[in-house]
Amino acid sequence: MRVDLRSDTVTSPSADMREVMAQAPVGDDVYGEDATVNSLEERIAELFGKEAAVFTPSGSLANQLGIRSLVSPGQELITEENSHIVRAELGAAAVFSGITTRTWRAERGLLRAADAMEIARPNSGPYLVSTAAIAVENTHNFGGGTVQPIAEIAALSKLATESGLTMHLDGARIWNAHIASGVALHEYAKYFDTVSVCLSKGLGAPVGSLLLSTKERIIGARVWRKRYGAGMRQIGILAAAGHFALDTNLGLLADDHRRARFLAQECQRIDASIVNPNHVDTNIVCLDLSQTDLSATEFAEMVKTEGVLISALGPRMVRAVTHLDINDEQINYASEVIKLSLQRAFMSK
């Protein structure tokens, strides 16, 4: 059996999704004439209570378009040190927008308003870099799928606004946060000036993210999207996958969360240091190998020989992510393989 838990990006579009994509009405989106893209942008803007949305080929681009609309060259964005924007977008904010970043550190990426405000330096004059925006990742990917507490988001928004700072939400997996917490999408979004969301993670679309904001900011983001080379033509076939994902797959995230929690509970039975299942909020399970003699890469290689694929994220940290293409049988098999390998690792110590 092959069980690919490296990421929730590895899903393949289902036959039903492909059928909807094949039938989608299309037009030239650079001319604003693709009816399926237009309806998806309107639908998702409305879900999040924002005025407008723009479709992008990747979540990184949606983040970058959002950030550059909030931060001028030479100003800074602050965020948590393991956030996607600083670790996984290859310096894009610096390269393309002249934006510097500074970070605070948070256990599991869990947001505390005070942590962000402690390093914020708005209006620093001609001597220090001025902070212009704060980015929050929800759920927090490298933190282990952590759902950010709405009370902390609200508190941060209040303090940020008082200081003249803007807020960006990296909501690649905001869908997972919504399903896990029951907090409405528009409730999460209302504290942010710009919001990015991904269709190609847990929702299972092959391509697609959106940036959401005011009409004015989205008009500007369309200009920059084209400038970056991401003005696309008959992409209704991609937007149709997004519609399908919202209709059919959003509710299924609860199953991903249940399977992730199960995997964590099973691993914890080998040793309590490996993972705390109560910290598995959504579909991401980070396993701590620091009490073994194995590196993350060695451990990932070990389970790979049994057909189970996981990611080595840190020197002693591996990540397993549940998704649409993983069923109960597969997670049972994967947890047996991972447990056996953990057992061996702890015995040989």
The answer to whether residue 311 forms part of the interface with ligand PLP (CB under 6 A) is no
Whole-angstrom distance, CA of residue 267 vs CA of residue 90: 33
Least distance from ligand PLP to the Cβ atom of residue 196, Å: 7
Q: Which residues contact 131 (CB under 8 A, 6 or more apart)?
A: 75, 76, 77, 78, 102, 119, 120, 121, 122, 124, 165
**What residue type is 192 in one-letter code?**
F
Question: Binding ligand PLP by CB under 6 A: which of 29, 41, 76, 170?
Answer: 170
Binding residues for ligand PLP restricted to 102-121, rule: CB under 6 A: none
Q: Report the candidate in 214, 276, 210, 289 with the shortest Cα–Cα distance to residue 242.
A: 210
- For ligand PLP, how many residues bind (rule: CB under 6 A)? 12
Alpha-carbon distance of 198 to 58, in angstroms, equals 8
| 250 in contact with ligand PLP (CB under 6 A) | no
Instruction: Give the separation between CA 279 and CA 145, rounded to whole angstroms.
Output: 9
d(C-alpha 333, C-alpha 138), whole Å: 29
Contact predicate 202/253, CB 8 Å: yes
Give least dist CB 18 to ligand PLP, A: 20
Looking at the DSSP bridge assignments, the partners of residue 218 are none
Nearest-CB residue to ligand PLP? 59
Near ligand PLP by CB under 6 A, which window of 52-60, 107-115, 226-234, 285-293? 52-60
Residue 130 or 146 having the CB closest to ligand PLP: 146
Helix/strand/coil for 80: strand
Output the smallest distance, CB 157 to ligand PLP, in A: 19
Q: Could you say which of 50, 68, 84, 259 contacts ligand PLP (CB under 6 A)?
A: 84
What number of helices (H) and strands (E) belong to the chain? 14, 12
Residues of this chain, 198-227, that bind ligand PLP according to CB under 6 A: 198, 201, 209
In the complex with ligand PLP, the residue whose CB is nearer, 206 or 337, is 206
Residue partners of 272: CB distance under 8 A and separation at least 6: none
**Which segment (29-37, 57-65, 110-118, 330-338) binds ligand PLP by CB under 6 A?**
57-65
Question: Under the criterion CB under 6 A, does residue 58 sit at the interface with ligand PLP?
Answer: yes
User: Which residues in this chain contact ligand PLP in the complex, by CB under 6 A?
Assistant: 58-60, 63, 84, 137, 141, 170, 172, 198, 201, 209
